[in-house]
Structure 1
Amino acid sequence: MTTIKLHNTKTRKREDFNPIDDKNVRMYVCGPTVYDRAHLGNARPVIVFDVLNRLLRHVYGEDHVTYVRNFTDVDDKINARAAESGRSIGDITAETTQWFLDDMAAVGALEPDHMPRATAYILQMVEMIEGLIAKGHAYAADEHVLFAVESYKEYGALSGRSIDDMIAGARVEVAPYKRNPMDFVLWKPSDDATPGWDSPWGRGRPGWHIECSAMADELLWKEPLRQDRLSEGAKSQPHVFDIHGGGLDLQFPHHEDEIAQSCCANGTDEMARYWLHNEMLQVEGKKMSKSLGNFFTVRDLLDQGVPGEVIRFVMLSTHYRKPMDWTEKKRDEAEKTLRKWLDLTRDLQPSDPTTFAPDQKLLDAVADDLNTHLALTYLNALTAQPQKLLDHARWLGFLGDKARQDDEKARSAYTTSMGSGASDALASLANRLDELRQTAMQSKDFSQVDAFKTALLAAGVEVRMSKTGVDLQPASNFDLAKLDALK
């Protein structure tokens, strides 16, 4: 069996992954707050943990992995969006949830096994809060319920900070009802214009952090069907699951607060065995922000004609624990690579995914703390074996059915719009380039060949040269008019 190695944020070490129960591997990843389109940074954890999900399912079996990613559909940002737009909260969250699913499907991400909405688990949150109060880890004050951070001695262990350091370095909400500035909200009151639910502390709504603790425990431990699948070894470690993931920006305070709530509510030493965090995203070397004019959503790129798989390729070309810099150069290189892969595999049929087994080299790359850069390098080395390229690329989330269908539609539209003129022109230019190459091989002067290739590329023509001859194919930016200067 392939040995998976993961960098555990909790221990700050790379460790062999040993699940609590290898027949029931469980992973929870924090999902989006659904009030607007997913920006490019939101896509990174989705793509990263999609790769890990694929790996886990291959190693342990499709039926032995449970992947949960939540939707936060009760939040002050959503309330504000509803107030400014005049639309109902339900309409906004339903629409933006579907937007997110559509955009993440476009970048090749498989849907998790469970995608719980916070509003469907209010009862579980209330019960967890009641338990925290009963155990002395939380207190009610001024219609709020707050977690008492000083009641949990390990608070700050994940991020490596002391409570004093956190107070000094964080923006904490100053409120007269707090016993400690770092105490965080579990429940808060709602007015008539704000979503609310009845509770022992009055009509209100949950704080942000409690939802993940309650939903992870419910779906990865308490769910009746889950109990039937748990081994005796797993049952001896109640309420603890294998992997918790998310962006580095969630490490503190969100994940720190989750751990405190879950461990105190359930009486455990840990919430999850392995914590994984992906680094943040930049654009052309700068932090993405609206003020800099470099902020864009996944949908912005898709609407500009950037294929979803190009976004995925650029994301995976950088290791998940390093800052990812989105650049036009990387985008262009990714498009060219994927175009080449599509051209090489266009006439092939993918193997049955239920019986296909990736090469060990690819598995070893992904299993080495998700070394996706090395995995892409391996795929590039398969261009001389198109069938292997197709099958292995699909296993990693590339050359999917939609990408292949879009490619076929584009080629069909090109043929219809260009007629035979473009094909004849390309055939003639291919012969001319081949003649220039033959002459250059004798003279050892390839300057004319290079200049001709550069002009073809500028016209949106892909150039493939081999021992048997020259083949020219139109790329997505093909411009027939630009060929006139080469005739």
Structure 2
Amino acid sequence: MTLRLYDTKAQALRDFVPLVEGRVGMYVCGPTVQSSPHIGHLRSALVYDQLRRWFAYRGYDVTFVRNVTDIDDKILDAAHRDAQAGDGARVEEWWALAYRIELEFTAGYASLGILPPTYEPRATASVQQMQQLIERLIERGHAYPAPDASGDVYFDTASWPAYGELTRQSPDKMEAAADADPRGKRDPRDFALWKGRKAGEPESAAWASPWGEGRPGWHIECSAMSARYLGEEFDIHGGGLDLRFPHHENELAQSTAAGSGFARYWVHNGLVNVGGQKMSKSLGNSVYAAELLSLASPLAVRYLLGQAHYRSILDYSPDSLVVAEAAVDRIRTFLTRVERRLAGTRFTGVGAPVVPEAFAEAMDDDLGVPQALAVLHDTVRAGNQALDDEELHEAAVAHGQVGAMVQVLGIDPRDPHWATADSGPAASALGVLVERLLDDRRSAREAKDWAAADRIRAELAEAGITIEDSQNHTHWSLT
């Protein structure tokens, strides 16, 4: 089956045909680092990690670029607010704030096993490329410096008839662009490419340019960085649904007006609701990454955030973490159970690490993770039944398929990453206590005190711990 993706611009499913055979170039809009990451940021990053991993499984060489917006009005405003609210402590510079928040994002991504990008450019490192792109737009008649000598440069939306094609909007019905001071604009819908420095802004947040000291507008940053690292035409541009307008609409307009082919496919992930409500600062219901990761294991958090279809709204509640923990534990228990039973038999290593056809069909069909997870859990159930029936060949085949599926999805509980992330004092203490009880049960069985042995099993079961006896060992797991 040909891999298909929903292209937001075409508003249709399209067969994926790469620009260069065997290669995929992906650009995803990363964070604007003005405040700590929340659940929506993690969900978006995870979606493109899943897509990247599936491309790699299908044999593509993937170049994955995710930028960091480290200069922006929001960052300067956040640094200014912090300075105004300070208690006499040393004021944090805007660039220091941006770097501190960037590290929080990096830590959040890493905790969920999200692969690092091939390139992760910061906007402040590509200002020269942004200025070159702006000059090109001015030369082509699609941008103009403000006549009031403020140093501002705007994209001339009226000069580009295709403006609005990504979101299917008529320019006549668009609201005024609110990304810059309207001083010097020809049209309220024109958006900022370069922002002249204003009084009171830090000197460190301004660069020399042909139009005067200033800094880039938000939209020009991604156009310049994607071209720098992927070329002027590339395969996939991704980001959250909230970025379609104005950010991605403006990126598309300025890049194509400058003569670039730009993105061949536009992919957008859905947003996150909390308890049935849209997550927002005004409602006070934002769930931050640090909070989320304190409530459950990182593996369960990854499972939770990745289980819905990427284009759908993900509705989060604390109860959903419990369900996710149970799901990953079923997978973990199955894999370890098979490995114990097959150890030393002729069936060890029989199952090839290949995903089932139904799983591949689901993933090829617009990254159908919910359907793929259904195949995964069906295979776990079938594999457990095969073990119960002592059909060891079938169990070995299921083991190989499950292993391949969880690797593709990045949720393999055997990965050392999760062992490190999930371990802690509580887990160690539990292990010591359970092993001591199992030693007592073993002694009771050797003394043929079956009542005591059964009592210990019952106490463990009541505490949510299942034990499974083999010829030489007793294995325990949380139910």
TM-score range, shorter chain: 0.7 to 0.9
> For residues 381 and 181 of structure 1, do their structure 2 counterparts lie closer, same or farther at Cα, with a shift above 3 Å needed?
same
Alignment of 1:112-123 (within 5 A): 112-123=117-128
2:214 corresponds to = 204
Partners of 1:172 and 1:182 within 8 A in 2: no
Report percent identity of matched pairs. 37
2:310 corresponds to = 320
Tell me which moved more, 67-76 or 420-429.
420-429
Partner Cα distance (1:151, 1:308) in 2: 49
1:35 corresponds to = 34
1:144 corresponds to = 152
Matched residue type, 1:31: G
2:416 corresponds to = 401
Partners of 1:50 and 1:109 within 8 A in 2: yes
2:45 corresponds to = 46
User: What's the offset of the Cα at 1:13?
Assistant: 0.7
Q: Deviations over 1:55-88 (max 9, x none)?
A: 1122233xx3211110000012211232324212
2:132 corresponds to = 127
1:388 aligns with one of 379, 382, 401: 401
Are residues 1:475 and 2:478 paired? yes
> For residues 424 and 161 of structure 1, do their structure 2 counterparts lie closer, same or farther at Cα, with a shift above 3 Å needed?
farther
Matched residue type, 2:278: K
Matched residue type, 1:38: P
Q: Deviations over 1:245-280 (max 9, x none)?
A: 111100000000001110011x24x42111111111
Tell me which moved more, 101-110 or 424-433.
424-433
> For residues 391 and 172 of structure 1, do their structure 2 counterparts lie closer, same or farther at Cα, with a shift above 3 Å needed?
closer
Cα RMSD (Å): 3.1
User: What's the offset of the Cα at 1:429?
Assistant: 9.6
User: What's the offset of the Cα at 1:359?
Assistant: 3.2
> For residues 181 and 422 of structure 1, do their structure 2 counterparts lie closer, same or farther at Cα, with a shift above 3 Å needed?
farther
3-state DSSP of counterpart to 1:321:
coil
Partners of 2:32 and 2:70 within 8 A in 1: yes
Partner Cα distance (1:51, 1:413) in 2: 34
Partners of 1:463 and 1:473 within 8 A in 2: yes
> For residues 325 and 116 of structure 1, do their structure 2 counterparts lie closer, same or farther at Cα, with a shift above 3 Å needed?
same
2:386 corresponds to = none
1:220 corresponds to = 230
Matched residue type, 2:402: L
Partner Cα distance (2:157, 2:282) in 1: 35
Partner Cα distance (1:329, 1:42) in 2: 20
2:343 corresponds to = none
3-state DSSP of counterpart to 2:126:
helix
2:115 corresponds to = 110
Partner Cα distance (2:262, 2:59) in 1: 22
Partner Cα distance (1:296, 1:207) in 2: 29
Q: Deviations over 1:68-125 (max 9, x none)?
A: 1100000122112323242123322222222211111112211111111001000000
Partners of 1:461 and 1:473 within 8 A in 2: no
User: What's the offset of the Cα at 1:337?
Assistant: 1.0
> For residues 174 and 127 of structure 1, do their structure 2 counterparts lie closer, same or farther at Cα, with a shift above 3 Å needed?
closer
User: What's the offset of the Cα at 1:363?
Assistant: 2.0
Alignment of 1:73-88 (within 5 A): 73-83=70-80, 84-85=82-83, 86-88=91-93
> For residues 146 and 430 of structure 1, do their structure 2 counterparts lie closer, same or farther at Cα, with a shift above 3 Å needed?
farther
Partner Cα distance (2:288, 2:226) in 1: 28
Alignment of 1:245-324 (within 5 A): 245-265=238-258, 267-268=259-260, 270-304=261-295, 306-324=296-314
Partner Cα distance (1:390, 1:461) in 2: 26
Are residues 1:154 and 2:144 paired? no
3-state DSSP of counterpart to 1:60:
coil
2:190 aligns with one of 174, 183, 205: 183
User: What's the offset of the Cα at 1:360?
Assistant: 3.0
3-state DSSP of counterpart to 2:58:
helix
Alignment of 1:59-98 (within 5 A): 59-61=58-60, 64-83=61-80, 84-85=82-83, 86-98=91-103
3-state DSSP of counterpart to 1:27:
strand
TM-score scaled by structure 1? 0.80
Partner Cα distance (2:306, 2:57) in 1: 19
Partner Cα distance (1:172, 1:412) in 2: 52
Partners of 1:302 and 1:308 within 8 A in 2: yes
Partner Cα distance (1:253, 1:430) in 2: 67
> For residues 429 and 13 of structure 1, do their structure 2 counterparts lie closer, same or farther at Cα, with a shift above 3 Å needed?
farther
Partners of 2:5 and 2:14 within 8 A in 1: yes
Q: Deviations over 1:222-255 (max 9, x none)?
A: xxxxxxxxxxxxxxxxx22111111110000000
Show structure 2 runs of 5+ residues with no match.
84-90, 341-347, 384-397, 445-450
3-state DSSP of counterpart to 2:194:
strand
Matched residue type, 2:405: H
Partner Cα distance (1:77, 1:271) in 2: 27
3-state DSSP of counterpart to 1:93:
helix
User: What's the offset of the Cα at 1:212?
Assistant: 0.5
User: What's the offset of the Cα at 1:422?
Assistant: 7.3
3-state DSSP of counterpart to 2:186:
coil
User: What's the offset of the Cα at 1:432?
Assistant: 6.7
User: What's the offset of the Cα at 1:433?
Assistant: 11
3-state DSSP of counterpart to 2:169:
coil
Tell me which moved more, 170-179 or 356-365.
170-179
Partner Cα distance (1:17, 1:293) in 2: 40
1:167 aligns with one of 175, 195, 198: 175
2:464 aligns with one of 461, 480, 485: 461
3-state DSSP of counterpart to 1:246:
strand
